[in-house]
Amino acid sequence: MSEAVALRAALGGAVSSVPVSTPKPQTGHLVGGGGALNAAVSALALHHGVVPATLNLDDPDPACALDHVRGSARETRPSHAMALARGIEGQAVALTLSRPA
């Protein structure tokens, strides 16, 4: 929930047009490796123009109010991607990537 609050604060009115996804349901919690995985998935999404779906996200919390990619991957051509990760050991990372021009 705190990630959704932070995204809404950072993106303002644009938040509803930003697709949001996470690979954690596919991989489990990777502790310190979560940030690296999120960065790799973000880079692949930029390269291939496809945002992967979040598996098993059938009933998102309405308080999150984000454009969750559910069910199947979404083809899009994002120019930027942000990888966010918080670990159970207190790690936190945010990395923004851009598609080459």
70 pLDDT higher than 80: yes
CATH architecture of 2-98: 3-Layer(aba) Sandwich (3.40)
DSSP type of residue 88: T
Taking CA atoms, 18 is separated from 32, 48, 64, 67, 101, in Å, by 26, 17, 13, 6, 20
Give pLDDT tens digits for 13-64: 999 999 999 999 999 988 778 889 999 999 999 999 999 999 999 999 998 8
Domain boundaries, the chain: 2-98
pLDDT of residue 49: 95
